[in-house]
Every structure is written in C-alpha cells, then in structure tokens.
Structure 1
Amino acid sequence: MTQPDLEIEPSDDLGDVWRVGFDPDMWAWTPWRYADDEGRFSGRWDDQSGEFRTLYTADTLLGCFLELLARFRPSRSLLDELDQIEDDDGSVGRFHEAAVGAVGYRWVENRQYGSARQTGRYCYVTHSRTMAALIAHYPFADHGIGAGDIDSAVLKDARDRVLTRSIARWLFDLGYDGDDLVDGVRFNSRHGDEIRMWAVFERPDDPPRSPKLEPTQEPAQVTPELDELQEAFRRFGLHWDDS
C-alpha cells in the first residue's frame, strides 16, 4: 500500500491524559467478554474486525465524563412528546419510570479515574492533511459515500460507527510490517472541539496494559461530588436518581 500523507501527532509532549475506567485496573484493556456487538466493542474508533482493543483517553477529566454521560442526555423530541401526554385517569403516575435525564447512583460503582503520560504516534483524523489522504486512499465507496460528500463532519458522526471503526482498522494496518506504526487516533470530542481525545490501539504483543500509557497517579474512586462530574451533569441537564 502506498503510504498516505497523514497528519501524525507524536505524543511525547502531551502532558497528562485522563481516563475513567473500572477497578481493579482502570488502565487495563477491557476484557473481550464485554464486546457485545458481534464480538466487537462499540466505540467509534474500535476495530470493525474485532481483533484488537482500543483504550480512550482525553486531555481533561471533564472530557472523559462528557463522552461517557452523553447517552443520558434528555432528548428534545422525547421531552416534547412527554409534554403532550394527557394523564386523564392517573395511570402514568401509578407506574414509576426513571425520570428523563436521571442517572442512577450505581453508575459510579467501581468506577475510577486517573491520569497518565501517553506516548506514541497518533493520526489526527480530522486534520486537513489526513482528510485529503483518506479521500485519496480510503475506500469510502464501500460505504456508499461519494468523494463530494466527505468532510470532517462525516468522521464526527457517532451514528455511522461501521465507517469510523473500519477507518480505525485501516489505520491500524498501515505500516504494520515496518517501524512507523500508527498507535491510534487523535480526534476532537463531539461535545466541544477544545477537548482533545485519543484512541490507543492494542498491538498483538502488548501486555495487559498499553505500553503507551504510564500512570502518573494512583487511581481514585469516582464519586457524585467530583467537580468534573458535577459539571458534566450541569451541561447535559442530568440529575441523580436514588430510587
């Protein structure tokens, strides 16, 4: 394969990156038993072939929580539909359902957070140079996407994960028999372009933890009182449900 002219970010000067994971080892690769999408993980930059794992980090702890909690956001269309329900006979009130935007306290159970020094070579996937290389070399036509329809918004769309996971696989395979491997993807969060994110690829000889991540502090327990978690709740309009 002709080596495409990708924008590669060497991460020897990133400072601390952050992750929210589960004990007993929040920095370990997620066990394969949790790959519930036909043997694949469901993240945007996981492997579409289901052969390697991906670990996600962010440049801020708030960024981690925004990514994790986005699925709990109240839907505007759902709120509008709920407003139109008429509870003439009181039946709605007799059946308890979780309120819109509610998050159970169990969400924090066994969750930890921590920082690490990250090294490696990461493809800045929405950089203009990378976009040009993808248009020239990646088979978008296999996904029914014409060259005129390709822009950075296509890669930020969380709905078409077959596309982004297939691109992750394509990047993983680049230079595999040489020294200049792509160690993962650098991308901006969908919840704010100022939030930098990384997807770190697992290589066949990697130990239980990625050698690209060296923790810089002991993991701490996620609690509802954590400032960054409270800020994510505020931005998304979420609240705790203790029922």
Structure 2
Amino acid sequence: MSGPVLVARGLSLGYTGPPVVEGLDLEVGAGEVVVVLGPNGAGKTTTLLGLAGELEPEAGSVELLGAPAPRGLHRRARAGVAFVTEERSVFMELTVAENLRVGRCDPAAVVALFPEVEPLLDRRAGLLSGGEQQMVTLGRALARSPRLLLVDELSLGLAPLVVTRLLEAVRAAADSGVAVVLVEQHVDQAMRIADQVLVLERGRVVLSGLAVELAGRVKEIEASYLAASG
C-alpha cells in the first residue's frame, strides 16, 4: 500500500469548554507502531476517541487509507479500524468462545494469536484474570484483520510478564502490516515496540520523533509525567 493508513491534521478534540487536545498532527503507515505517551489528563484517550470516530473533531481532519475517514465508530470499524479501550470489553456472563462469536471472529484465529486462550474457551469470561481478559479482547480485535489498531492502556493493572506478552502481540500485528496507535503509561515497555513516539502534555504534542532517537530520553519523559501532574 502506498501512503499512510492514518493521517490526522490540526486535530482539536473536546467535550464541553476548551479543547482537550489541540492542533494534533499524526501519520501512521502500515507496519508502524506510534506510541502516545503523557501524564494523566494529557489528552491521550481523547486522541484515540477522535481517531476511532467516537468523538467528532472541533477542528482539523482525519483521513483513513487516503480518504476522509467516515463519521462514527461503527463506520470506521467497517472501514478496518479496531479500537481496544482501556476497559476490558468482554461479556462477563458469556464463555470466551461465545464472546468471540459475538465479536464475529473465529475462535481458532484468536487461539492462533494467543494459544493461552484455547483451554479457556468454555470458561465464563468473568472468571478470567485481567490478563486473560485482555488477551481475549486484543485477540478478538486482531482476528478481524484490521488495517488500523487503536489501543488504550493495554497494560492497566497487569503484571509485567503479561504486559510484555500483550505488547509483543501488538508488535507482531504491526510486523504483519497493521498500523498501530498505542497509548501507554509504561514508557520503557512501550518504547521497545515503537517506531514513532508522541508525548502529550495538556493536549499538545511537546515531543515527537523516532523511537530509536528518543530511546535515551526515557527517564526524561518519565520525569515530565511527574512535573506535569505536580
């Protein structure tokens, strides 16, 4: 594919009152992972909501595969956008297999991505650990073969080994050609799988560049979180 999968230009997003995110520029190509970092309240989740179509922009534009992105979450999903929210979106009373069928994906495709899920297929999702629920959620999104994957705080509340496993799956998806925008709080872990990095503070990009160029500035980035929240 020629050209980026996703382009945002001058994107401003908000709810009521002043914009939460202002003047955001972003490009993601097939096979790229763009990691969005920043302290709480920086506008990271709001950015993903705007890219996913859940939140209409106050200004600016979003293009998907070289054309204006369709309006609305469901239309963008049909156009190849998968959005994994920070809330583990499983139906707790359904089995894992039922969750996957409701999500219109083949359980075998999810098991191929996460073999750990196979012995859990007949178990109610509410009985799974947080990490297992995230494997089901991420596997369901990836099994639909999206062109663009948006992921919000995949690691929230999870053990480091589980976080590593999930982020490895995200990197593998990118290596297969999926464009990825990943919001993360674990700076060091996220930087290991990133191609590009954006750091947000108070709704604006304060640092951006290639991950390899910013790898030596992890401590500085983490320190900026504390300064911004102080």
> Which band: TM-score by shorter chain?
under 0.3
TM-score of the two chains, using structure 2 as the length reference: 0.27
TM-score if structure 1 supplies the norm length? Answer: 0.26
Structure label with greater radius of gyration: 1
Q: Which structure carries more relative contact order (alpha carbon 8 Å, separation 6+)?
A: 1
Task: Give the helix-richer structure, 1 or 2.
Answer: 2
